[in-house]
Each structure stands twice: as structure tokens, then as C-alpha cells.
Structure 1
Amino acid sequence: MYTVVDIETTGNGIKGNKVTEISIFKYDGYAVVDEFTSLINPECEIPYFITGLTGIDNQMVRDAPTFETLAPTILEFTKDCIFVAHSVNFDYNVLKNEFKEIGLDFVRKKLCTVRLSRRLFPGYHSYSLGKLCTSLDIPLKDRHRARGDAQATVLLFQKLLRAPGAEKVFKMFLNARSQEATLPPSLPKDVFENLPTKPGIYYFKNARGKIIYVGKAINIKKRVLSHFYDKANKEVRMCRETNHIDFELSGSNLLALLMESAAIKKHYPEYNSSQKRNLRPYGIFCYEDRKGILHLAFNHLKMAPNALATFYSPTNCRLYLEELCKIFGLCPKYCHLQENVNTCNHYRIPTCGGVCRGTESIREYNEKVQRAIAHIRSKKTDFIIRQKGRTPTEDAFVLVRNDTYLGYGFIEKDVAINSFEDLETFLLPQKDTVEVQGILTSFLNKMGEKTLVESYLTESSPQT
């Protein structure tokens, strides 16, 4: 016995979603043997856009029974039946959550008419209920009302039961170990099955082929599956929109983190909430004024000639210049920490030697600036991090020069590398961002020390 179900809701995701109408048709495989339809008072406001879609407003449900009142009827009506719906996980999980809120369990075997249709009626451009009914000449009245949609789903389900190969497909979908009911309704199973169990990044794409989410994983297939079990509102919406999944192998977690960060900034996916900032880099630079005094200042990197150091906020630039002033006795005025003043009076920096007051010579001051510049440059390093490649015959590397991340690359183990230039031949250039700097700093802290360029050029075994 089957119960074909459709619900209308307040549209606030799974956990915040409240049912406003439910329709259940009990179907024995040949005919409808019983029906239950009712409006439900959600005990909260119905948003205007939902009313515009369904026609159900606050006045209509004001005197309707609450879900708690109808719960015994729904439990009894669906008892010992297979729960059937179009995009079944949505209807099933909303109801399950409603029961959970009143202290009741709701567990039923379930079938999804979207996934069944994709398998038994392949080749259609869209598997939404409206478009599928049009393609299959199924009458659909009162669209976006529970009874109208449920009645059309019954007629669709009837066609599915009688489609060639239906018995085998239904048996497979009802198998307790089958992942069919777990996968997003619009995602072909073979796409999921073809995902690797290796490190890399993955792309969720919608029906138009647009990337809506980018993620990284040590085990791509396992991580992707975890999205389908996640019942958070955002995850449920994202999975319902997912029609395809692409992937790129990375060989290691570090490369996956770097590739994920670059992909998020490139594609700006709707469902990625982090790393979307495009922070403008700032550069610290030196120049000489008409008096011959050397200044240290900062500006956007494009405006900073031959930048001595790069940061991703004016605040970090100022803090760095403050430290240089304290260490080398520089003047806050000539480090542009105080503007439009005749002499400096910075409350955190009492170490100025007096160049701004004429008590220190320009030559002596410039020598201190030169020592500060030498200090900045001495801190810059060139290094690589060597990682496992995507295949047993390949290495991966991350390249940093002058403390600036240049990108990553992959190289066959038998290729001779004798210089930095040889390595750069295989480089996939990437942007240096604050997120990348955080990823690299975290990784290097865990390693304990940097893997210098020379070690890559002389050692044959990879470091992981």
C-alpha cells in the first residue's frame, strides 16, 4: 500500500518550515482507496511570497486545526504504507520535523517520483511536477495546492508502476541499503557513483550548469554524501538545486584547500558563505622627499612602487610600521602614522630620534630607515612545499617567492628540476590572498619548519 503525499508550507527551510496544508491519497497500486486533505494552522505568519505562490493566506488557516491536532490522523493514515512524494525528501523531512517538535517519531519507507521518473522516463529536459505532467499528458489542476499536486502525483506514480522495467527499479529504490532516496532528486546516480574517494575539490551545479557550491575533501565521495544527509536549511535547498557534480583531484589536503579558495573567489558560488571577500592588497614602500628624508608609507599595492611588504588591510600596515618605528627609532610622522603635524607625538611611539624636530640629522635618520628596509627584506623567503601528486608517478608543489604565494603545480617524479626556473615551467599561477596566507601559515606551523627550495632541488623523496 502507498500513501501519495503533498504538503504546502511557510517556506522557511526544513527546520523552520511549518505545514499549511496536507493531502494524502492512499493508493493500492490500482486505485485510490482513501483520501485525507486538510488546511493546517502553522501557528506563525505565512510570508507574502508564499501566499502569492499557493494562494494560502493567514485568514484561510486561522481556524484550521494545528499539526499536533492532526498528528494522530496522519500517523494512522500513513501506517504500514510506503511514503510517496515528488522530491520525497522535502515533504518527508518537513513532516518528520513537525512530529519531532511534538515528541513523536515518524519513520516510513519512501519513494521519490522525481528519481523514479529520471530512471524510468529518461531524456526529459525537466522533471519538475508541472513540466513532467505536461510532457506525459497528466492533468494537473490547482498547482501549488496540496490536493491538486498530490492527485497529479498519483497519476504519475500509476504510470511509473506500469513502465517497462518498473519492478526492478522499484525493488532497488526500496532496498534499505540503496542511496537512491538520499541523493538529490535531480542528480543522476551515476554522477555520484563516479565521484572518486581521493583528495580534491568538487563543484555542485544547478540545472543551468552554474556552479552553486565549491567544497574540498580528503575523500570527495564521502564528503559529498554527507551534504545529502545534512538537514540544515541551506544544505537542503542546495541539494534540491543540484543537477550535476564535477571534481578536480588535488593529491593532498593542502592543495585541496588552496584550490577550493581559488575556485570560490573565481566563481563566487551562491551557497559558499566564506572566502567571498576580495580584499585589496596594500604595499609598504619607501620614497624620498624634497628635503632628502626617506619616508615609509603604504598604499594600494598597484600604487605602491616596489613594495617592501604586502598586507591585506590598512590596519595591518599601520601596526607593522609602528613596530618598525619602535625597533629602529623611526619617526611616526615620516612613516605616515601621523599626518599634518609639524613634529610627531604618537602616544605609542616615544622612540623618535628627533628628525622631525631638527635634533637628528637627515643622514642619521636615513641610515635607520635603510636598516629597517634591510630588516624587511631579510625576512622575505623563497620556499616550496612538496606534496603528494594526483597519481603515484606525480608530485605536487606550492611555490612562494619573496613571501608571496605564486601558485601550485604538478610534476612527474622523473622530471629533473635543477633551478627555480625549471619548477616555474609547471606552475599554475594563482592570486595571493589573505585566505591563502592563512592556509599556508597554518600548514607551516603544523610542519614545524619550512621546506626550502634547495631541499626540493636536491631530494628525490616527497614530503607529505
Structure 2
Amino acid sequence: MNHLDHLYCVVDIETTGNRMTGNRMTEICIVRMRGDTILDKYSSLIDPEVLIPDYITTLTGIDNAMVASAPVFADVAEEILNFTKECIFVAHNVNFDYNVLRNEFKRLHHDFKRKKLCTVRLSRELIPGMRSYSLGKLCDDIDIPLINRHRAEGDTDATVILFQKLITIDQEGDIFNKFIKGNFKEGTFPPHLDRTQFDQLPETPGVYLFKDQGHKIIYIGKAINIRKRVLSHFYSKTSKSYLMCQEIHHIDHIVTGNELVALLQESDLIKKHYPKFNVVQKKPKPAYQILHYKNQLGIIQFAVGLVKSYDYSVVTHYNRAHAVEQLEQLCADYNLCPRYCSFKTKDDCTSHYKLKNCKGVCKKEELVSLYNLRAQQALDSLHHQNPNYIIQQPGRTHEESCFVLVRDGEYQGYGYVDRYTTINSLIDCDDFIERKAANFHTNQIIRAYLKKYGEQNVIHEEIAVG
């Protein structure tokens, strides 16, 4: 069928919010068309049955008093259903309007389904090179009058004129038919993003950064295939993805050559830039250490404390219970005094519910020097539990390789070397490493890698790397 023979309904909807789900409709306008010819128009305020937030009133001018006497959606649902019957649903950023309408029908237990066309996507294809594809800026640039912005009828009227221009440009209907058949494999691009920035993304592992108009980073992600992962955000129908895409003006990327370093670099960058749309890794996780120091009696004292609370730490844990459990085991294995391992006791160390092996240093029945010998042995055993190793990974090109360094059980950073360069010890890594801070998330990333791959590509200090 020729694109001029199709029935279209051009739609704009105003809502109580800007999310893809959970919004209620406050106004709708629909223009029914055959090809580029206008057949009819429907427009109505809608009582959303919830309060309209002040910021929405500021944007649209629609307040609670205006919709107080308007029909609720259930009263106009049948009319809207008939008005859009057999039509292709057209809107600027079509997924937003379409999903709002679908959700209103779902509340009435009706499954609303129409074929969709997005004038943002059509404009990108048929009017390339524009500074922005948001409705307001696009209308300014191609001289389309946009009166009563952010009201359903005003935005619909402008979208109709844009749609008519697009039909005229695509005289043969090839692009229209490609979109209507649903076999056009590009996502719904953010309206402010220059298409060439996406086209330049590589299909390799790395990190991508979404930025707003002022080049402020708003989201950081990692990917095995950067281009494919970025595109998945544009396809996503979640509220978070939709809102984020509305703010994306620029995309940067960093090629890492492998997923492990992509994960580590993503974690580091999130903590450095604190992006608006990243949630999980922004929350700080407390780290605990098994600490040691000599108390006023000259006895080596152990404790579990937060990282950096003391100068002398031995082992770092990201779960306090794990740290306490390890210290209990240390106390039992080396016959240490529970009191000097900072475990609570009532009268003397024998009152501890589990640990009963103290040799009496707390009662002056054992020499401090002998006790400290065992305490030092306990310390040495902890140090031996902290391995030194390198995880080898692919580099960014065939001519280089990558390594991740762990010293004393703590992540140190990563580096890239010429693939012909041989690293004989951990010390040799210092010439190439990019130092990074260890934290809960880097610990989890490396633990997950080792759990998945075991000793594969893991080189311990005594083994040469080449």
C-alpha cells in the first residue's frame, strides 16, 4: 500500500509526569489523516483522578481546577478507540504517548494495540544533519509554527505539519514503508543526539559515557559491545531509559579491550563523576579491616574497624561479619586472648561463649613476649592469605595485552603493554600500571571473575608473565 493511502492518527498527550509508566493523562489531541490530508480532529482535557504536580502545571499550564470538570478517561475511552481505529499511531517520541495511552486502556482491562510511527525517527532519516530533533528546535529550524507549546493541541498541530513535510520528502514512500513494516533496525534515538556520534561507536568492549548539553556526565555503563549496548538503551521502554535519552546530547567512549577492565573502569568513573542516572555503585559501602597495634601494656591488640581508622591494617573485608569471623578463627588457632582481640567478655577471657584457649596473658600468667610471638605468627598467617597475582587480559589491539594487578589481596589497578613485553614480577608492573583505588565494587568484580574463570589467565608472582 502506498504511504498516501494509509490512515494515520497524529497524537499528543499531556500527563501528570514525564515517566513512561505511572502517569495519568491530563489532555489529549488526535488528528486523523489519510496520507497528508486531514480528515478530523479530536481534543479534550482529561481528569487524571490524581493531583497534578506544580512543576507540570508550570510546564503545561494545566492545573487541577482546569481538569476538575473534565471527563475521566473511562468516559472518553470508547471515542478514542473508534477515532484511532485502523490508523497508524503517529507521535513525536511515539513510545511515550503510545505507552501512556496503552496504560490508560489497561486500567480499563482493554489491550490497546496500533502500529506506530515516530516523527523523530522519520525526521532523522529524511531530514538529516539537524542540530536537534526535539519538536521545539526542529520546528524552529524548518519554519513550522508551534503555538501553545506543551499543550496537546498546539503540539499536535505542529507535528501534523512536520508529518506532512516528511510525507512530501519521501515521495516514493520507501522510508515510511520500512518503518511501518517494523524492519528498520535503529532504535529511537535521543532527540538531541547527533547521529554521527552513535555511528562512530565501536563494537568492542569498553565504557560509554552519556553527557548532557553542558557535557556533564549523566550515565556511565560498561559493555562487551559498546555500540550494541548503547543502542539497547534507545530501544528500552523503561522510564529511566526514556528520561535519560531525553537528556543525552553527547556520547563518549573508552575502549578497554576486555570486559574485566571495562567493569573496573566503570566502577572507578562512577565514583569519580557521580552520574545522575547511575544508582547502584554511587552508594558507598563500608570496608572493614582486621587491625593491630600495641596497647599500653605492650601487648599486640587486634580489632575490627572501618578502613583508615588506624594506621596499621592487615586484611580488608566488605562485610563486618566476615571480618569478625576471621578474627575469631585467628584467636582460636593461635591461642590468643579474646579480650586482646577486642571481643566482649564479662569478668575474664574465659567468659567468652566460644573462645576458651587463652594462656593467661590477661591475668599475667603468661609473658607478654611469648604472647606477642604467637600474635606475630597470627599476623604472618594473615599476610600469607593475601595473594599477589596478575590477571592477564586481551589488549585494545592485537599488538598489546592487558593486566590487572592484585597485591596483598587488594586491587591496585590495570595497565597495557606491548604484547612482546615480558613482565617477570609484580614490581615490573609498576612501570605500566594505572593506579586505582580498591573498594567494595572492585572487590566484588574481581571475586566474580575468579569465581567464573578460576585460575585461567591468573599469574602468581613467582611465575613470569610474557
TM score, norm. by length of structure 2: 0.86
SS across alignment from 1:320:
helix
The alpha-carbon deviation at position 209 of structure 1 amounts to 2.1
Shift of 1:282: 4.4
Aligned residue in 2 for 1:352: 358
Contact between 2:292 and 2:302, CA under 8 Å: does it hold in 1? yes
State which of 210, 220, 224 in structure 2 corresponds to 1:214.
Answer: 220
1:22-61 equivalent positions in 2, closer than 5 A: 22-28=28-34, 32-61=38-67
Partner SS state of residue 30, structure 2: strand
Partner of 2:459: 452
Contact kept? 2:122, 2:176, Cα under 8 Å: no
Match runs of 1:7-406 below 5 Å: 7-11=13-17, 13-28=19-34, 32-101=38-107, 102-113=109-120, 116=123, 120=127, 122-124=129-131, 126-161=132-167, 173-174=179-180, 176-180=182-186, 182-279=188-285, 281-312=287-318, 316-338=322-344, 343-344=348-349, 345-406=351-412
In structure 2, relative to structure 1, the CA distance for the partners of 1:164 and 1:69 (3 Å cut) is: closer
The letter of the residue matching 1:177 is: N
SS at match of 2:393: strand
CA RMSD after TM alignment: 3.1
- Label 1:106 to 1:368 Cα distance change in 2 as closer, same or farther (>3 A): same
Going from structure 1 to structure 2, the CA distance change for 1:168 and 1:446 (only over 3 Å counts) comes to: closer
Aligned residues: 457
Where 2:183 maps in the other structure, the secondary structure is coil
Aligned partners of 2:400 and 2:416 also within 8 Å: yes
Distance 1:232 1:181, change over 3 A: closer
TM-superposed deviation, 1:318: 3.7
Gaps of 5+ in 2: 1-6
In 1, the alpha carbon distance for the partners of 2:96 and 2:215 equals 23
Deviations 1:76-117 (A, max 9, x none): 323344433222221122223333443223122313247616
User: Which whole-Å CA distance do the structure 2 matches of 1:381 and 1:191 have between them?
Assistant: 43
Give, as a single letter, the amino acid of the residue that structure 2 aligns with 1:354: G
AA aligned opposite 1:213: Y
Does the residue aligned with 2:420 lie in a helix, a strand or coil? coil
In 2 relative to 1, CA 181–366 (structure 1 residues): closer, same or farther, beyond 3 Å? closer
CA contact (8 A) 2:88 2:114 kept: no
Q: Percent identity?
A: 44
Distance 1:289 1:455 in 2: 37
Go from structure 1 to structure 2 and tell me whether the alpha carbon gap of 1:166 and 1:427 turns closer, same or farther (over 3 Å shift): farther
8 Å contact from structure 1 (residues 14, 90) kept in 2: yes
Answer yes or no: is the 8 Å Cα contact 2:330–2:378 preserved in 1: yes
Is residue 120–residue 164 contact of structure 1 (8 Å, CA) maintained in 2? no
Q: Aligned with 2:338: secondary structure? A: coil
3-state SS, counterpart of residue 452 of structure 1: strand
Q: What whole-Å deviation, never above 9, does each CA across 1:147-177 have from its counterpart, x for those lacking one?
A: 1221232334445555699977656655632
Aligned-residue offset at 1:137: 4.8
- TM-aligned CA deviation for residue 63 of structure 1: 4.3
TM-score (norm 1): 0.86
Shift of 1:367: 1.9
1:270–1:119 Cα change, 3 Å: farther
